[in-house]
Structures are given as structure tokens and as C-alpha cells.
């Protein structure tokens, strides 16, 4: 559905992105991840034909963004970071204006607007002024304008920026509800956002792609040790001392404190070591209570930091 090969963009002498390549299959939700200024928005704007690349090639739904930009735009719904809304228009009037601008004929325009308002959960605010809506509802209206022409590809640039926690959860559910019907690229610098919404991640740093994979595959590749969380009721200095004697243990860190002499611990061990065979007898022998034991996997934050550190070392 989307094929990007060797994209490079310079703004004068300043490099925005360099040699960016990736592909996205039909129906996927893919996270485009990186800190502010890493090249995410530049890549999005090339894919949406806002401006051309300096070098390289991008295909969307089989169409070249350089050679057939108008046809590409008909295939794409785009929510930029700054949502293009008119605050003095009613929601339904604004969507009617967008539908007309996108060439939806009058005979089917009303149905398209009704469908997209239902899909985005904004039917109840159809007659309100856009400027009087909450930030969350304005983002929903922004997604509605991107969907109004039923595009094959949806590109969302920082769709949850500025939302409160409840609005963020609602936006995630809305985006996940679109899965399978459309190919979706979700650009974000908020790592947890990508981890709960997307099937694969594309990680960009300083204008270059540094990883393209499923989060679990990146964890398997980058996690060099096993990490276990333990919640133990017992004298902390002694618990720390005894845990460090277990074969295969590399390090033990005490975490948060709980009432009644109970503490959390992160135990790092050799990757293939299973410490449970030692932990349980240790608890029984010392009459300590083990309230919790669970595996701790790398977060996307951990993955990103590890990848960036490796690239900086190579440089």
C-alpha cells in the first residue's frame, strides 16, 4: 500500500530526512515514532504531497507522489498536527464544506457526512460551533474531515497531542476501530501511544530510520537480560542480600515501598535463567511472603533509548 525508498529532503543546507525507506501493507496500523525534530512530519508531508522530496521515491496505493500528486491526495486522509478547522462554522457545515472541496457529489454528500459523524462519535455535536468544542472533540472533527471521502490511507500526525488522559483513551479506541478498513500511519513522539495502538513501529532518529519491526521482535533482539519484578514482605537489606546469591542473578534493585515491611524489587538475571526454582524455596526458608512475581519486558521507551544509544556509538 505504501512504498518509500531512499527519501531525502533538504531545506536549503539543512537536512530534514536522509535515505528513508520502509513499506506498509494494506490494512496495517503502523506507528511512526521519534522525538520532535526527528523527521516524522517531513516524511508525512512528502507522502501527502505537501512538498516533494529532494531525492528518492514514494508510492501510495500504487501511485507515485511526484508524478500523480492529485490522485494520491484522493487516496489519502490527512490529520496534520495543527488541525485545519474553522472555529466559526458548525460541525455539520464544516464537514459539508470539506466534502464539497474534496469533490463528493451533492447526491451522496449527506450520507458521507452522517456516516463519518457516526464513526467518529460527533453526531451529538453536529450543530455546535467548532470553536466551542473541547480539544478532544476538535480532534474527532479533524479525523472526520480526513475520513469524509473514504480514503484508503489515513495519515495521523500527533493525533493525541494536547488531549487529557480520558480524551487520549477515547482517541486510541477510535483509531483502533478503523483497523483493517484502512492503512493507517500514526506519527507520534509519545511512545506508550504507539505501543497500545500499532502493530509495527518505524523508529526515526535525526532524519534516519533506525528500526522497522514489531515491538515484541525489537524486545527479543535488544533485551540482553531477563527482568523479574518481585513484591516481597521481609527485611529489605536481608532480602536484597539473599536474592543476589541466586545463581544467574546479575543485579537486584529495590523499588517502591509498601506498608508492613513490603518492598518491590527488579531482578536482572542471565537471559535464559529461570530464577523461580530458587525464589520460592528462599521465601519459605526465611518465612517471607512473596506477594507478586512477574516478568518485566522492555517498554518502547527502553527500545528507543537502546537503539539511539547504539546508533550514537556507531557514529
Domain assignment present for 313? no
Q: Are residues 111 and 237 in the same domain?
A: no
Q: Are residue 143 and residue 276 in the same domain, yes or no?
A: no
59-67: which pairs have CB atoms within 8 A and are 24 or more residues apart? 59/2, 59/3, 59/4, 60/1, 60/2, 60/153, 61/1, 61/2, 61/152, 61/153
Any idea what DSSP says for residue 299?
A: P
For 156-184, b/e burial (b = at least 16 CB within 10 A) is bbbbbbebeeebbebbbebbeebeeebbb
Claim to verify: residue 135 and residue 206 sit in the same structural domain: yes
Cα gap 217→264, rounded to integer Å: 28
Q: Degrees (nearest 5) of the Cα angle 115, 121, 125?
A: 100
162 and 13, same structural domain? yes
Instruction: Kindly state whether residue 302 falls inside one of the protein's structural domains.
Output: no
What CATH number does the domain containing 160 carry? 3.40.50.300
Q: Is 56 in the same domain as 153?
A: yes
**How would DSSP label each residue in 55-76?**
EEEEEETTEETTT-HHHHHHHE
pLDDT-derived band at 177, boundaries 50, 70, 90: confident
Tens digit of each residue's pLDDT (9 = 90 or more) over 279-290: 999 999 999 999
Please count the structural domains in the chain.
Answer: 2
Instruction: Look at residue 24 and tell me whether its pLDDT is greater than 90.
Output: yes
Assess if residue 95 is contained within a domain: yes
φ/ψ bin of 270: left (φ > 0), alpha (ψ from -120 to 50), beta (otherwise): beta
Among 20-29, 63-72, 166-175, 205-214, which is the least confidently predicted range? 166-175
Q: Which of 220, 251, 284 is the last residue of a domain?
A: 220
Three-state secondary-structure class, residue 178 = coil
253 and 179 both lie in a single domain: no
305 in any annotated domain? no
Three cell numbers, residue 171 = 482517541
- Domain CATH number, residue 263: 3.30.70.1340
Position 312 in a domain: no
Same domain, 119 and 203: yes
Q: Which three cell numbers stand for residue 273?
A: 535463567
Range of the domain at 127: 2-220
Kindly report, residue by residue over 64-114, the tens digit of the pLDDT: 999 999 999 999 999 888 888 999 999 999 999 999 999 999 889 999 999
Decide if 116 contacts 148 (C-beta within 8 A).
Answer: yes
Amino acid at each position: 500500500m505504501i512504498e518509500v525508498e531512499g527519501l531525502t529532503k533538504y531545506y536549503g543546507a539543512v537536512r530534514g530526512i536522509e535515505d528513508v525507506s520502509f513499506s506498509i501493507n494494506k490494512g496495517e496500523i503502523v506507528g511512526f515514532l521519534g522525538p520532535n525534530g526527528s523527521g516524522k512530519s517531513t516524511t508525512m508531508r512528502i507522502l501527502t504531497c505537501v512538498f516533494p522530496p529532494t531525492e528518492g521515491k514514494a508510492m501510495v496505493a500504487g501511485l507515485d507522489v511526484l508524478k500523480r500528486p492529485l490522485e494520491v491526495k484522493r487516496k489519502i486522509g490527512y490529520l496534520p498536527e495543527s488541525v485545519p478547522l474553522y472555529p466559526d462554522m458548525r460541525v455539520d457545515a464544516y464537514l459539508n464544506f470539506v466534502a464539497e472541496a474534496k469533490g463528493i457529489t451533492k447526491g451522496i454528500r449527506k450520507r458521507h457526512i452522517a456516516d463519518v459523524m457516526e464513526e467518529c462519535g460527533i453526531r451529538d455535536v453536529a450543530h455546535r460551533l467548532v470553536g466551542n468544542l473541547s480539544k478532544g472533540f476538535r480532534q474527532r472533527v479533524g479525523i472526520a474531515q480526513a475520513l469524509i471521502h473514504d480514503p484508503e490511507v489515513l495519515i495521523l500526525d500527533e493525533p493525541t497531542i494536547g488531549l487529557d488522559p480520558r480524551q487520549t483513551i477515547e482517541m486510541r479506541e477510535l483509531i483502533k476501530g478503523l483497523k483493517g478498513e484502512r492503512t493507517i500511519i500514526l506519527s507520534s513522539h509519545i511512545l506508550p501511544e504507539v505501543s497500545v495502538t500499532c502493530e509495527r513501529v518505524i523508529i526515526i532518529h535525526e532524519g534516519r530510520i533506525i528500526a522497522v519491526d514489531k515491538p515484541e521482535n525489537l524486545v527479543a533482539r535488544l533485551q540482553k537480560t531477563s527482568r523479574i519484578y518481585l513484591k516481597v514482605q521481609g527485611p529489605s537489606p536481608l532480602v536484597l542480600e539473599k536474592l543476589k546469591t541466586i545463581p544467574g542473578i546479575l543485579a537486584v534493585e529495590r523499588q517502591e515501598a509498601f506498608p508492613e515491611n513490603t518492598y518491590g524489587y527488579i531482578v536482572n538475571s542471565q537471559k535464559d535463567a529461570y530464577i523461580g526454582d530458587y525464589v520460592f524455596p528462599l521465601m519459605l526458608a526465611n518465612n517471607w511472603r512473596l506477594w507478586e512475581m512477574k516478568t518485566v519486558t522492555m517498554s518502547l521507551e527502553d527500545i528507543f533509548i537502546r537503539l539511539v544509544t547504539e546508533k550514537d556509538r556507531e557514529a
